[in-house]
Structure 1
Amino acid sequence: MIRSDWGDWLVRDVEDATPDGVAIWYLGCNGFVVKGREGTTIYVDPYLGLGDPPRTIRMIPVPFDPDDVQAADAVLATHEHTDHVHGPSQAPILANTGAPFYAPDDSVAVAREEEAWTDEWDVADDQLTDVVESDTLEIGEFTVHVEQANDPDATHPVSYVFEHEAGTFFHGGDTKPTDEFERIGDEYAIDLAALAFGTVGQIPDKRTRDPKRTRWYNDENQIVECAAALECERLLPSHWDMWKGLTADPAALHHHAASFDHPRRLELVEIGDRVDLS
């Protein structure tokens, strides 16, 4: 059972909020909660695990206990990695709320086969739904488009574009630059883009446990390349806070972004922070 360092205040803050447009809470790692003015609440990549010490060591608090979540209209995952598809973090939300889980096929396979969510938790098989690029989901007041992503470490990654009357939010998962982002930037007016950012570090190999030079996320130049192609108004760097050896300073991105037309602004947040579209 997951025990939060923070109790239930963040979950209650989300559930009690009445945003004027769209409120977005950063959960650390690459997790977010997106809530609209009518109350539609979507969790994206929420991860509350501790990693696999000493290989992956969590550097931030566990912000809530998933058993405390009583309101969710959907849970989305971008790809199959443990910090994006994790039964102990996500299945209790589905069990408590009856919400659907949307994810690409390899992510749903983790939930169904590797982690057996329908056996280990009170999750129905029809709550687990595959998505593919070009799909469109209508979730309450949001139209969610499933788009391309480029994560060479994943078997089937996707990104999501959340459209709402108040604005458009792009969640890239752990994507790196791709030619598809120019098309996406032309197709949608993206107000806020969340993109994974981190350093290159020495991480123990999963099999041998020998230190291995590891790049899992965008560096400073790659993340600005993504943001420029997407033509986003605001860039929110994510994932930089999570793993020991791969943490980074997002404030450094001011220098890298300064000469580009996009992003026009950096949105630097810490775990538990809220940003708004209105």
Structure 2
Amino acid sequence: MLLNPTLEKLQTLKLTGMSKALEEQLQAPDLYQLSFEERLGLLLDREATERDNRRLNTRIKQARLRQAACVEDIDFRHARGLDREQVRQLLNCHWARDHQNILLTGPTGVGKTWLGCALAQKACREGFTVRYHRVPRLLQDLHIAKGDGRYPKVMAGLARIDVLLLDDWGLSAFTDQQRRDVLEILEDRHNLKSTMVTSQLPIEHWHEVIGNPTLADAILDRLIHNAHRIPLQGESLRKKRRKVAKAKAAT
């Protein structure tokens, strides 16, 4: 058997997983005891795994998550009101399959963004497309997109994302145009895709930060009524870590 041409053809066909597995089989004499069908099955399994990993890496890269977080590292030891059972139920990602939203609220430093990124990364692992945006920057980008003609394309791209993570919601009051942009984003996604929001403001204050009562009602109707709410509380975890670091440095 001419192995080099076979390996080259596998590479040409972009069957890199099968190529690597074949090379490994050649270095493992015990595998020669397997039947042709069994060895072929191993090659196909390796190719499928390689492709799954490549797709996952692409989804995570395209998500542009602010923090490298994963659900396996969620810390329930700190008293911040995080419900272990609620989080466990969210880990199956049924919320994304059912096009439900997640709202994370709480004071600065309690881990809203980190937890949002962890849940978003889990959604990537489950095969969903994800995109992270800070709300102030996104609204600024939409304003620029209107000027250079990219607005319809940008909005269409946001509508296609399975899980849209909007960070730092409500840092400042929305302008009229920003209210309308947010409504268009949520209208495109309502009952079709999932949206995750993190905010320092309690949900009951969102109406006033949006401003216009009519548009605020429309926005919140599309955002909160099918949402899982995760209200966090307590002292900033960053402050706690600094205190621990200072204590260690003093000893």
When the two structures are superposed, what TM-score results if normalisation uses the length of structure 2? 0.32
When the two structures are superposed, what TM-score results if normalisation uses the length of structure 1? 0.29
Structure 1 or 2: larger helix share?
Answer: 2
Structure 1 or 2: larger strand share?
Answer: 1
Considering Cα pairs closer than 8 Å and 6+ residues apart, tell me whether 1 or 2 has the greater RCO. Answer: 2
